[in-house]
Structure 1
Amino acid sequence: MSIESAVIAVGRDEGDRTRRLAEIGVELADAGAELTIVHAFRTQEAADETAAQLGYTDGSTSDLAQRLDSVRAVRRALESSGVSVAVDGRVGDPGSVVATVAEELAANRVVVGGRDRSPTGKAVFGSTAQDVLLSAPCPVTFVRRED
């Protein structure tokens, strides 16, 4: 199965996962995939608040997403390896947004980061990574935080 398109889900704070997300992105690009970084703002209010914090007033949600430190870090790491990448920012439930973009792009792979949580923590707080794993239209690569 060839990989022609891949989605890399990037949250607001990827921390030490940034390097690993980029490494996997480079591997996918080397296999022929076109890459798209996806970031979801949970609500329009969250997007507006982020725009105000960044002093950003014009442009699309995708333009706003490109200004987030986490998105810029992954994008910079990919581009420094010679990989071109698009950025898609949207408003909505992150798991649903990532799955929707993957479906729209006919992605062959989704890459998502997550935290180790107890079963109780997942039940109480939910998990974007879990939502993506259950709803993505293609295989998902899960990237844990490094210790």
Structure 2
Amino acid sequence: MTESAREPTAVGPDLGVANDVRARRDHHETVLLPVGYSDAERVETLATTAAEVAGMMETTVRVLHVFTEARYADVRDRLNYHEDERPAPDELVGRVAPVRDVVGRLEEPLRAWGTTMDVDARVGDDVAGEIVAAAEAVDAKRVLVGGRNRTPTGKVVFGSTAQHVMLNAPCPVTFVRDA
């Protein structure tokens, strides 16, 4: 499990936010936004929802990507790292198109809300478990998970990352479904 110790990165100027709001934000309250490869079709919805929730809650958005071991190795290999090298997941996360797209779409709305974002990455084959662990590590105030509607049988047969996160997260979870 890899955890980021970086401070949130400001995405724009403070647009007249009152001092008490800035003081609350200094506690780095966080809305966690996990983004995976399957989120490519819902980038706009995820970004819009995250910006609105974080803006209203006056929190930082932490965009999170969890690499499975196989995906991590694939990205590492495509970037011509030696097979013995193990770069930090944060060095590779910029190569994940849905993460790049969400971050790009979040910049302007977060600037308008006067809030911040950062990007974190982890490696682990239990994606849902890594999301829950990240929520616990940053003391998230809310987790936003994307997903699609599935039949009950589909959930049993294929599992559901979103369902596991909703049942195990240490904070409220908002399900952002396909439009």
Same fold, judged at TM 0.5 (above): yes
Q: Evaluate the alpha carbon distance shift between residue 111 and residue 56 of structure 1 in structure 2; reply closer, same or farther with a 3 A threshold.
A: farther
Aligned to 2:128: 95
8 A contact 2:59–2:116 mirrored in 1: no
Is there any run of 5+ residues in structure 1 with no aligned partner, and where?
Answer: none
Aligned equivalent of 2:38, options 13, 32, 38: 13
CA distance in 1, matches of 2:104, 2:38: 15
C-alpha displacement of 1:104: 0.6
5 Å matches for 1:51-62?
51-53=76-78, 55=79, 57=81, 59-62=87-90
Structure 2 counterpart of 1:122, one-letter code:
K
CA distance in 2, matches of 1:87, 1:131: 22
C-alpha displacement of 1:115: 1.5
C-alpha displacement of 1:86: 1.1
Aligned equivalent of 2:175, options 118, 142, 147: 142
CA distance in 1, matches of 2:77, 2:171: 35
CA deviation profile, 1:94-136 (whole Å, cap 9, x unmatched): 1111111110100010000012111111111101101111111
CA distance in 2, matches of 1:141, 1:29: 12
C-alpha displacement of 1:56: 5.7
CA deviation profile, 1:71-107 (whole Å, cap 9, x unmatched): 0000001113225321111112111111111101000
Structure 2 counterpart of 1:65, one-letter code:
V
Aligned to 1:113: 146
Is there any run of 5+ residues in structure 2 with no aligned partner, and where?
Answer: 1-23
CA distance in 1, matches of 2:142, 2:163: 15
2:73 paired with 1:34: no
Aligned to 2:4: none
- What is the TM-score when the length of structure 1 is the normalising length? 0.88
CA deviation profile, 1:21-43 (whole Å, cap 9, x unmatched): 11111113312111101111122
Aligned to 2:100: 72
* Structure with larger Rg: 2
**Between the two proteins, what is the percent identity of the paired residues?**
38
2:163 is paired with a residue whose SS is helix
Q: Evaluate the alpha carbon distance shift between residue 80 and residue 56 of structure 1 in structure 2; reply closer, same or farther with a 3 A threshold.
A: farther
RMSD after superposition: 1.9
Q: Evaluate the alpha carbon distance shift between residue 106 and residue 123 of structure 1 in structure 2; reply closer, same or farther with a 3 A threshold.
A: same
8 A contact 1:21–1:74 mirrored in 2: yes
